[in-house]
Structure 1
């Protein structure tokens, strides 16, 4: 995945998306400290600090089950010694750390998980850290808006394909028997089928027999429209109340059928009006 780049106080900072989360190039952040000091040396000096090693160790223990705690103690014992000049690669290789990694080539440098990168930025400059947080949040908002638009588009296409498939099932694969007039099934029906017939006009078994291939992985409710699923939820509530009142199957079925027909007509009519208004608005543009 291509790196993203943000600009913080005239410093370009690369951000890499990894499996765990976003990783920020702390080599780029180090450039904000001083032009006279090599960025790699700034990172190395930061890693020498015992407070840094403590923070990295705790972070790894929280997020990394394979972190080698014993090996990390070896680093912490040497912190502060003049001869102690660890590299990021040494830390990663010896402790099996995942919070830092080194990348070669284009966009190369030391990358740190965002939690660690912000801690590094604090050591560089608290002011720079604040601007970094602001720019990073702006980037994430842009990504979220982009993902939302993509999700909305996929949802729209999915819904239309779903309706096309539903229409095909209803047009060509409906059971032939009229279950609303021939009520022989009702005496032995389960509650789910009372709802199915009230709404769809046939039992689940009848649908499976008419659609053997589809029935291998689906049921009739998988092909219901959004409006039908809304009405179905309402029917379940009405049926539960009538069961508590002790109403017989025949009486409940008649009431449920009337409710289904009325509510479905209302919802479908409202959807048609919305589509007409939407088309009218588009034609005016």
Structure 2
């Protein structure tokens, strides 16, 4: 469940059958007798035709014969249609009635935007803008989470290679930590042209570390380089040679990822 704010109205969005459904109830809550607008919308002949087309496209269980009878009646003065009747008679899936704390009438985003347009074209545009902003934020978060998981895997590969090849068995924990940090800085220099300490000294007002401020593409590149550096360590390549190789790889990969001509970090 998520909430967006459209002008001054807070609107709930839920996931139903892995699709986004937007609360029509929330849309009309600020309007006097607003709940009556939903059934008024459902009695509109154009609405019935639109809902029927959508259901035929996406709902294999839609009761088309029943719908045809409803469509014939729509628009007549005696025609009455509630959300519950629409769902029961046609087996519709585009509109649902939800009980409980976040209860009310919800509609698939396609239908919710249509309802919003019927209520107010201006409101519809604001709704689409805020909904898209929510989706963009979700995609960024998804990409970040996936990246973090990949980084954890490659980080383990990297540290295991350091432990197996560069840290003698008699070394202290403090000495081992220095070695891990030293190898992490090999990647930092190859990618950013500076160590973690140099970044902190240059950015005393910033919290976190150099990688917290890296771009998506830089983090992808760093994750790849951890894996590659582990291979180099296992092959016994000296650190100075690995640093040069890794910088060349960073330049090449950033060139591909951003198509900007790369970042030349070493002289």
Post-superposition offset of 1:128: 0.6
SS at 1:86 equivalent: coil
Q: Is contact 1:57–1:72 with CA below 8 Å preserved after alignment? A: yes
Alpha-carbon separation, structure 2, partners of 1:58 and 1:169: 64
Taking a change above 3 Å as real, the CA distance of residues 56 and 50 of structure 1, as seen in their structure-2 partners, is same
Post-superposition offset of 1:146: 1.4
1:39-188 aligned within 5 A: 39=35, 41-162=36-157
SS at 1:66 equivalent: coil
Post-superposition offset of 1:166: 8.3
**1:67-88 per-position Cα deviation (integer Å, ceiling 9, x unaligned):** 1111111211111222222111
Post-superposition offset of 1:29: 1.3
Q: If the length of structure 2 is used for normalisation, what is the TM-score?
A: 0.60
Q: If the length of structure 1 is used for normalisation, what is the TM-score?
A: 0.56
Taking a change above 3 Å as real, the CA distance of residues 169 and 58 of structure 1, as seen in their structure-2 partners, is farther
Q: Is contact 2:20–2:108 with CA below 8 Å preserved after alignment? A: yes
User: In structure 1, what is the equivalent of residue 14 of structure 2?
Assistant: 16
Q: Is contact 2:12–2:22 with CA below 8 Å preserved after alignment? A: yes
SS at 2:77 equivalent: coil
User: In structure 2, what is the equivalent of residue 210 of structure 1?
Assistant: none
Q: Is contact 1:6–1:136 with CA below 8 Å preserved after alignment? A: yes
**Larger-Rg structure:** 1
User: In structure 2, what is the equivalent of residue 4 of structure 1?
Assistant: 2
User: In structure 2, what is the equivalent of residue 26 of structure 1?
Assistant: 24
Alpha-carbon separation, structure 1, partners of 2:107 and 2:8: 21
Taking a change above 3 Å as real, the CA distance of residues 147 and 72 of structure 1, as seen in their structure-2 partners, is same
Alpha-carbon separation, structure 2, partners of 1:267 and 1:227: 10
Taking a change above 3 Å as real, the CA distance of residues 168 and 73 of structure 1, as seen in their structure-2 partners, is farther
SS at 2:76 equivalent: coil
Q: Is contact 1:227–1:268 with CA below 8 Å preserved after alignment? A: no
Alpha-carbon separation, structure 2, partners of 1:67 and 1:169: 62
Taking a change above 3 Å as real, the CA distance of residues 266 and 9 of structure 1, as seen in their structure-2 partners, is same
Post-superposition offset of 1:90: 1.4
Post-superposition offset of 1:268: 7.4
- The number of equivalent residue pairs is 186
Alpha-carbon separation, structure 1, partners of 2:89 and 2:160: 56
**1:119-155 per-position Cα deviation (integer Å, ceiling 9, x unaligned):** 0000000001111111111111221121121111111
Taking a change above 3 Å as real, the CA distance of residues 54 and 271 of structure 1, as seen in their structure-2 partners, is same
| Gaps in structure 2 of 5+ consecutive residues | 166-225, 230-236, 251-267
Q: Is contact 1:103–1:110 with CA below 8 Å preserved after alignment? A: yes
Q: CA RMSD in A?
A: 3.4
